[in-house]
Amino acid sequence: MSTTDCDVLVVGAGPTGLTLAIQLLSRGVRTRLIDQDPGLPKLSRAIGIQPRTMETLDMMGVADRLLEIGHRGLRTSVYVGGRRQAGIDMTCADSEYAFILHLPQHRTEEVLRSRLAELGGKVESGIELLGFIQDADAVTASLSDAEGREVQVTASFLVGCDGSHSKVRRVLDVPFEGQPYPFDWLLADTELDGGGRNDEVQVHCGPGGQPLALIPIDGRLWRVSAPMPADRGGAAPTLEEIQGLVDARGPGGIVVHDPETLTCFRCQIRSTDTYRRDRVFLAGDAVHIHAPTGAQGMNLGINDAVNLGWKLAYVVAGRAPDTLLDTYAAERRPAAQQMMAFTDSMVRFVIETSPLKRTLRRAMMPLLRTPRMRRRLANRMAQLAIAYPDSPISQPGRVRGLPTPGARMPNIRLHDGRTMNEALRDGEHVLAGPDDGLPGRVLVRPDGYVAAIGRDGHSSAIDDYLQSVRTPAHSGR
Ligand SMILES: Cc1cc2nc3c(=O)[nH]c(=O)nc-3n(C[C@H](O)[C@H](O)[C@H](O)COP(=O)(O)OP(=O)(O)OC[C@H]3O[C@@H](n4cnc5c(N)ncnc54)[C@H](O)[C@@H]3O)c2cc1C
């Protein structure tokens, strides 16, 4: 009989915390999800959901709801002097979701909240984490309730999904290393006329090389985004200022009007090596932040939560040893580093103003147009290239025609008619084999990555994995 108030206390109900709470509740873990905000903030933040995230949201049973309300972006194009010079074509991505789904973050969060409610969960709004202590058995957290009273809650584990200014990270005294970029980013979510194709993100490079991004949010709204080499102290731009930037850097003939938000922010690139300290974990923006270029931050956070969720559920249920939880950092830290390097290279690509480097950049562009490079870039952007081959739980092995251990499992159709992602909705491992059209057996983890493979018949790699995680595998049939 547990003596804690809950198994897991999730701090922060942004996309990371909501996803984690769904992962835990769907596996019967006693979970509390708190957020200091009194309601759902409607700030202008993420608008792009990447293909890999759509796949994981499919495993959570919410991809269709998002598809109904989202807008499909097929590619990102870089225009110089009005001519398309380079880009990333998402239709080349190896996924059934070969596009970026554009949807304001608060609407994505609404869908996640509705799934949470279906599972009997809720966001406890207006509850702030003040601090915590931990010992060998539990974490004791101090919370301030909606009336400002301080209350104590005990949990077996606490996860800080509390964003870039994470209180949890600060209590752990974990450094958040990195630096701000040396420019401010101006943003307007606005209506506009003359924007052209609304199925692509357009990045226009003005005569001096300074970029302007035009991102269709839906059929009506666009996000206009432009970096400025100055420190404005956070002062929001006026609509006239945005129009001036659009005229100076854009293709001409675009008129912005009726803005919903006008903001300025200074983005940073920062991360930490510490994803876990004993019973306390960090996830999402609490462990990595970077420029919004390429639409990756929310996606990384959601996929952190999917990675951690099943592992916590297994350990809480006594179905796996505590060491399984160490694989969260071993797998997700390299993934974050990879995506941070990718966004940083994109920032440098678009903000380069040195004439020499711009000439070199132009010379490189044909290389990006080869079919191999287009597919590679799309898969990288889509977070489909993230894999865990070096994870301590990925069992070595190679069988011709099967994905390698640690790789993402493609969404194959199983012989019972379900897709792999549908089978993974049960929250367990799935064993697929020759009946499912495979040239051997594949054990797939609950987060859709390959745990172990084997030829038909006995597989010591699959046995070894099951022994290390101590879990019964559910057959795909
Ligand atoms: C302009 C902009 C555009 C972006 N575009 C994209 C994009 O297109 N695609 C993409 O993937 N990402 C994008 N991002 C990044 C994305 O918004 C973040 O990565 C994402 O919100 C991180 O989610 P999170 O849940 O980890 O943190 P957050 O969304 O920051 O949520 C943290 C939550 O914790 C709560 N909290 C904080 N402290 C406490 C406390 N002490 N007690 C209780 N609750 C607390 C907060 O109230 C908040 O609700 C963009 C960001 C910006 C700024």
- CATH 3.30.70.2450 in the chain, residue ranges: 182-266
Query: Is residue 124 a contact partner of residue 33, using CB atoms and an 8 Å limit?
Result: yes
> For residue 234, what pLDDT is reported?
87
Q: How far is the CA of 289 from the centre of ligand 1 (A)?
A: 9
Q: How far is the CA of 273 from the centre of ligand 1 (A)?
A: 19
| Residue 128 CB less than 6 A away from ligand 1 | yes
Query: Is residue 62 a contact partner of residue 188, using CB atoms and an 8 Å limit?
Result: no
Six token digits for residue 92: 């080349």
Q: What kind of architecture, by CATH, is found in domain 182-266?
A: 2-Layer Sandwich (3.30)
Q: How far is the CA of 48 from the centre of ligand 1 (A)?
A: 13
> For residue 477, what pLDDT is reported?
38
Helix and strand element counts for the chain (H, E): 12, 25
Other residues' Cβ atoms within 10 Å of the Cβ of residue 437: 11
Q: How far, in Å, CA of 93 to CA of 384, rounded? A: 8
ipTM score: 0.97
Pick from 45, 176, 214, 303 the residue to mutate for probing ligand 1's pocket: most ligand atoms within 8 Å of its CB: 45
Query: Is residue 227 a contact partner of residue 213, using CB atoms and an 8 Å limit?
Result: no
Instruction: Specify the CATH number for 6-47+104-179+269-332; select among 3.50.50.60, 1.10.1040.10, 3.40.50.720, 3.30.70.920.
Output: 3.50.50.60
* Strand-pair category, 48-49 with 288-289: unpaired
Query: Is residue 420 a contact partner of residue 403, using CB atoms and an 8 Å limit?
Result: no
Q: Which residues contact 359 (CB under 8 A, 6 or more apart)?
A: none
Specify the DSSP element, H or E, that contains 347. Answer: helix 326-351
Per DSSP, 449 falls in state: B
| CATH level 3 topology of 387-477 | Glutaredoxin (3.40.30)
Q: Which residues contact 129 (CB under 8 A, 6 or more apart)?
A: 11, 34, 36, 141, 142, 143, 160, 162, 167, 168
Q: How far, in Å, CA of 477 to CA of 469, rounded? A: 22
Other residues' Cβ atoms within 10 Å of the Cβ of residue 304: 30
Find the radius of gyration of the CA atoms of the chain: 23
Distance of CA 351 to the CA centre of its chain: 24
Atom 4 of ligand 1, nearest CA residue: 46
> For residue 471, what pLDDT is reported?
62
Atom 52 of ligand 1, nearest CA residue: 45
- CATH 3.50.50.60 in the chain, residue ranges: 6-47+104-179+269-332
One-letter identity of residue 77: S
Q: How far, in Å, CA of 310 to CA of 126, rounded? A: 27
Per DSSP, 296 falls in state: -
Return the closest-CA partner of residue 77 out of 87, 85, 69, 64.
87
Distance of CA 254 to the CA centre of its chain: 32
One-letter identity of residue 242: I
Q: How far is the CA of 230 from the centre of ligand 1 (A)?
A: 24
> For residue 230, what pLDDT is reported?
79
Q: Which residues contact 399 (CB under 8 A, 6 or more apart)?
A: 439, 440, 453, 454, 455
Residue with tokens 């958040």: 176
Atom 3 of ligand 1, nearest CA residue: 45
Q: How far, in Å, CA of 400 to CA of 398, rounded? A: 7
Q: Which residues contact 463 (CB under 8 A, 6 or more apart)?
A: none
Residue 401, Ramachandran bin (φ over 0: left; ψ between -120 and 50: alpha; else beta): left
One-letter identity of residue 401: G
pLDDT tens track of the chain, all 477 residues?
A: 567 899 999 999 999 999 999 999 999 999 999 999 987 666 678 999 999 999 999 999 999 999 999 999 999 998 988 888 888 999 999 999 999 999 999 999 999 999 999 999 999 999 999 999 999 999 999 999 888 899 999 999 999 999 999 999 999 999 999 999 888 999 999 999 999 889 999 999 888 788 999 999 988 899 999 998 878 888 999 999 999 999 999 999 999 999 999 999 888 999 999 999 999 999 999 999 999 888 899 999 999 999 999 999 999 999 999 999 999 999 999 999 999 999 998 888 777 667 777 777 777 777 777 889 999 999 999 999 999 999 999 999 999 999 999 999 999 999 999 999 999 999 999 999 999 999 999 999 999 999 999 997 778 899 999 988 876 555 543
- C-alpha distances in Å from residue 66, one per residue of 71, 103, 150: 9, 8, 38
* Strand-pair category, 255-265 with 268-271: unpaired
- CATH 3.40.30 in the chain, residue ranges: 387-477
Query: Is residue 291 a contact partner of residue 347, using CB atoms and an 8 Å limit?
Result: yes
> For residue 257, what pLDDT is reported?
98
Six token digits for residue 257: 């009007």
Six token digits for residue 430: 């799935």
Six token digits for residue 399: 């069988």
| Residue 14 CB less than 6 A away from ligand 1 | yes
Six token digits for residue 338: 């990879």
Six token digits for residue 22: 């769904």
Q: How far, in Å, CA of 59 to CA of 421, rounded? A: 5
